[in-house]
């Protein structure tokens, strides 16, 4: 026979097991709903993108901007890691800056707002200068190890004739 003293702990264990199961069920349902929600969100975003894609044929400015970004992503994705953070930064920034120039040129072709057109001009000028700076920097880094690996020039004897 179960006494009143024994009933309380047994009831607590029973409720704890039931509650534990309910909590697991609740969290499983929450995770499932989250996954479902993310899936539906992505599906909606993709359908909007596809709808915008059909619109891009009618909007050459939009399609040119997207093409600039796609080109940049392809170029950046093709860059292999060098192990040098500075070199990797510059190599990745080059296509990024070129995309900014391409997008600014598109703005000059299609944009009407004078302030945005001035900004586009400044972007073209500034980004081109920065591209040139980064290219020179990379060239110096690439030629420095080559110079270090070269043997010193042979003594021709001219220094000894003085």
| Beta carbons of 76 and 38 less than 8 angstroms apart | no
Is this prediction's pTM over 0.85?
Answer: no
How high is the pLDDT of residue 143?
82
Question: Quick one: which of 23, 12, 25, 99 has its CA closest to 64?
Answer: 99
If DSSP states are collapsed to H, E and C, what string results for 34-58?
Answer: HHHHHHHHHHHHHHHHHHHHHHHCC
DSSP percent split of the chain into helix, strand, coil, nearest 5: 85, 0, 15
Helix axes 4-56, 60-77, angle to 10 degrees: 120
Length of the chain: 162
> What CATH number does the domain located at 59-147 have?
1.20.1260.10
List, in order, residues 6 or more apart from 57 with CB less than 8 Å away. 63
Per-residue pLDDT of the chain (162 residues; tens, 9 = 90+): 566 666 666 666 766 666 666 665 665 555 555 665 665 555 555 555 555 555 555 798 999 999 999 999 999 999 999 999 999 999 999 999 999 999 999 999 999 999 999 999 999 999 999 999 999 999 998 887 666 555 555 555 555 444
How high is the pLDDT of residue 58?
72
């Amino acid at each position: 026979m179960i006494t009143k003293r024994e009933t309380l702990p047994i009831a607590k264990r029973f409720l704890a097991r039931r509650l534990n199961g309910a909590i697991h069920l609740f969290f499983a349902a929450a995770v499932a709903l989250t996954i479902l929600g993310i899936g539906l969100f992505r599906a909606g975003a993709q359908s909007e993108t596809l709808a915008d894609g059909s619109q891009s044929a009618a909007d050459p400015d939009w399609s040119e901007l997207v093409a600039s970004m796609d080109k940049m992503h392809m170029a950046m994705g093709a860059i292999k890691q060098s192990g040098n953070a500075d070199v990797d930064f510059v190599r990745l920034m080059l296509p990024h800056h070129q995309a900014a120039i391409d997008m600014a040129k598109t703005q000059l072709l299609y944009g009407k707002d004078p302030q945005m057109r001035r900004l586009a001009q400044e972007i073209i000028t500034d980004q081109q200068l920065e591209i040139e700076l980064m290219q020179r920097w990379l060239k110096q880094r690439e030629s420095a190890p080559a110079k270090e690996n070269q043997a010193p020039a042979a003594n021709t004897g001219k220094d000894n004739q003085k």
